Amino acid sequence: MKMKKAVTFLTVLFASIFLLAACGGEDSGGNGTSSGNTKSIKFMHLWPEGSSAQHHKVVNEIITDFEAENDGITIDLEVLSNEQYKDKIKVLSTSNELPDVGMTWAAGYMEPYVNGNMFAAVDDIIESDLSDSFVPGTAEAFSIDDTAYGLPLELNISTIFYNKAIFDEYSLEEPQTIEELHEIVDTLNENGVNPIALGNRDAWTGSMWYMYLADRFAGEEDVLTQAINREVSFEDPALVQAAQEIQKLVESGSFVQGFNGLADEEAKSMFMGEQAAMYLIATWDLPNFTTNEDVPQEFRDSVGYFKFPTVDGSGDSNSYVGGPGVGLFVSENSDVKEEAKAFASYFVQQWGEKAVTEVGIIPATKVDADSLDLPQMYVDVLNDLNEATNITLYADVQMSASAAQVHLDMIQALFGGDVTPEGFAKTHEDTLSAEE
Partner 1 sequence: MNKVMSNKWIIILYTFPALLLIAVLIVIPLILSGYFGLMDWDGIGAMEFIGLDNYIAALQDTKFWDSTLHSFLLALFSACSLIGYLAVALILASKIKGASLLRKIYLIPMLLSSVAIAQLWIKVYNPSNGMLNSILLGLGIDNPPAWLADPNIVLYAIFVPIIWQYAGFYILIYYAALKNIPESLIEAAKIDGATPLQIALKIKIPLIMNVFKVTIVLSIVGSLKYFDLIYVMTGGGPNGASEVMASYMYKLAFSSYNFGYGSAIGFLLLIITLIVTVIIRKLTVSKDEIQY
Residues of the shown chain interacting with partner 1 in the complex, contacts defined by CB under 8 A: 3, 7, 10-11, 14, 17-18, 87, 90-91, 93-94, 112-113, 115-118, 194, 200-201, 203, 256-263, 266, 270, 275, 400-402, 404-405, 409-410, 412-413, 415-416, 418-419
Least Cβ distance, residue 294 to partner 1 (angstroms): 20
Q: Tell me the angle at which helices 237-251 and 204-218 cross, rounded to the nearest 10 degrees.
A: 120
Buried-state track 316-334, b at ≥16 Cβ within 10 A, e below 16: eeebbbbbbbbbbbbbbeb
Cβ closest to partner 1, residue 155 vs residue 278: 278
Q: Is 318 left (phi over 0), alpha (psi -120 to 50) or beta?
A: alpha
Q: Which residues pair with 112 in a beta bridge?
A: none
Least Cβ distance, residue 109 to partner 1 (angstroms): 10
Sequence-separated (6 or more) residues with CB below 8 Å from residue 350: 62, 65
Least Cβ distance, residue 194 to partner 1 (angstroms): 7
Least Cβ distance, residue 261 to partner 1 (angstroms): 3
Cβ closest to partner 1, residue 93 vs residue 390: 93
Quote the CA–CA distance of 111 and 94 in Å, as a whole number.
15
Quote the CA–CA distance of 178 and 284 in Å, as a whole number.
25
Cβ closest to partner 1, residue 260 vs residue 290: 260
Cβ closest to partner 1, residue 80 vs residue 388: 80
Quote the CA–CA distance of 257 and 360 in Å, as a whole number.
31
Are 119 and 149 in contact by the 8 Å Cβ rule? The answer is yes
Least Cβ distance, residue 8 to partner 1 (angstroms): 11
Least Cβ distance, residue 249 to partner 1 (angstroms): 16
Cβ closest to partner 1, residue 2 vs residue 171: 2
Angstrom CA distances, 306 to 10, 195, 279, 290, stand at 75, 15, 11, 16
Least Cβ distance, residue 252 to partner 1 (angstroms): 16
Closest to 397 measured CA to CA, from 286, 320, 318, 322 = 322
Q: What are phi and psi of 255, to 5 degrees?
A: -105, 155
- CA–centroid distance for 176 within its chain: 27
119: DSSP letter: B
Cβ closest to partner 1, residue 149 vs residue 259: 259
What is the longest distance spanned by two Cα atoms in the chain?
99
Quickly list H helices, 162-232: 164-169, 178-190, 204-218, 223-228
Least Cβ distance, residue 323 to partner 1 (angstroms): 20
Cβ closest to partner 1, residue 87 vs residue 293: 87
Cβ closest to partner 1, residue 218 vs residue 270: 270
Least Cβ distance, residue 401 to partner 1 (angstroms): 4
Quote the CA–CA distance of 165 and 184 in Å, as a whole number.
14
Cβ closest to partner 1, residue 213 vs residue 410: 410
